[in-house]
Chain A
Amino acid sequence: MLSKEAERFLREFRIEMMAHGKQDEAIDDMEAELEDHLIQAEQDGKSVDSITGGSVKEYLKNISGEMPRVNNLKKYIMLFIVYLAGILTIPTLIAGTFEWSLSNLMYYAAIIVLGPLLIYKVYSGVIINHTCFKTEKIAPKGYVIIAVFSVLKMGFLIGGLFLVRNYPLVTFFEPSSGVNITIGFILLAVMVIGPLIMKQWFYSFLAFALAAPEIIAQIFADGGPQSESYITISAIALLAASILIMGTLLISSKKDAKKAKN
């Protein structure tokens, strides 16, 4: 039985190694090795400091330097940024309402750059401090933090959109909705076909599922993106797409867990 401090150290180790792009198998092996060591060390009356030498951060830095990285990590980060930019902008492009203004582009750049950083900080904090090591269950306090963060995030996203619409700063050009829709469909084709070529079918499905509500609304709604029927159809389709995405993620994580057990 490990102490809380030892469990916290092991969670911090996993999160840090994942964030530094270390290979999953190497992380699993080293985590097992450290856990095995800590169990015996604590039985002998030693603390986590006996492993880290007093500084968890310094120790993780040392061990990280020797652990193998995922190949082509920089390429994957670049692809991820491009993909994120794509799936965020495609729905509004297909709706024909994308604004080519400085504030709107800054808004998306902030979401793409700051979004993943903030999500990493909050979720890694919850996993390290408020999750059970063995069962991987999040404690109630962790759920409260995630809920507060989600509300704040939504607030910033909606508030940001309000600011962007009222303060465009500089408008680069104002294409017709037809041009926006065409750009949207070209980007969608890239985001669907690209991951398929790389055999990452989920990312292909995700890009399509997020754009599908706008496509369905464009086909079936009576009016434009501001009309009641367009908003209703796209909202229902988005809800259905979200359920599909969550369901797919759930099934695939259960499959992964089953594979890891075997």
Chain B
Amino acid sequence: MSVSDQIMKGLLDGAILGLISQGETYGYEITKKLEDHNFPDISEGSIYPVLLRLSKKGYVNTRMVKSDSGGPKRKYYSISETGKKELKVFKDKWEKLNSGMNSLVRGD
């Protein structure tokens, strides 16, 4: 995996946790929101390993809801207390990293 791929992978965890913190949501809606925010270079399916990882770490709560139209069940995600704490840590780190990287890349 290239350096840029690894960066994207780490950022995607934080981005998805951030989206979930805005309100209960589900897989396809998350990909739409990522698209709306111009999150670059990801296949839609790559959010599912991330969602599994966030769930395993206890950062998100999940519930399955039966479809009224006979379709498959839909899994909804909401942020947990641990998730909120983790998101705060992520935001702090991201702000410092962002400013550091900008300074380095632009040669400020």
Q: A residues engaging B (CB < 8 A)?
A: 29-37, 39-41, 46, 49-54, 59, 62-63, 65-68
Contacts and interface: CB of A to CB of B under 8 A. Distances in A.
B90 interface: no
Nearest to A30: B48
Interface SS, B side: helix
Interface of B: 26-28, 31, 43-46, 48-49, 52-53, 56, 64, 67, 71-75
Given A36-B74, A66-B52, A51 B43 contact: yes
B53 A66 contact: yes
Give the one of B43, B45, B49, B72 with max A CB within 10 A.
B45
B68 to A, nearest CB: 13
A36 B30 CA distance: 13
Given A36-B26, A37-B28, A51-B45, 14 more contacts: A30-B52, A36-B75, A39-B72, A41-B44, A46-B44, A49-B43, A51-B43, A52-B43, A53-B46, A59-B43, A63-B45, A65-B49, A66-B49, A68-B56
B46 A32 contact: no
Contacts of B44: 37, 41, 46, 50-51
B31 to A, nearest CB: 8
Contacts of A35: 71-72
Contact of B48 (A34, A49, A68): A34
A47 B72 CA distance: 18
Contacts of B71: 35-36, 39
A39 B74 CA distance: 12
A40 B43 contact: no
A199 B27 CA distance: 39
A133 to B, nearest CB: 11
Contact of A62 (B28, B46, B56, B73): B46
A67 B52 contact: yes
Contact of A50 (B27, B43, B74): B43
A233 B64 CA distance: 54
Nearest to B50: A66
Contact of B27 (A33, A62, A63): A33
A53 B48 contact: no
Given A66-B52, A67-B52, A36 B46 contact: no
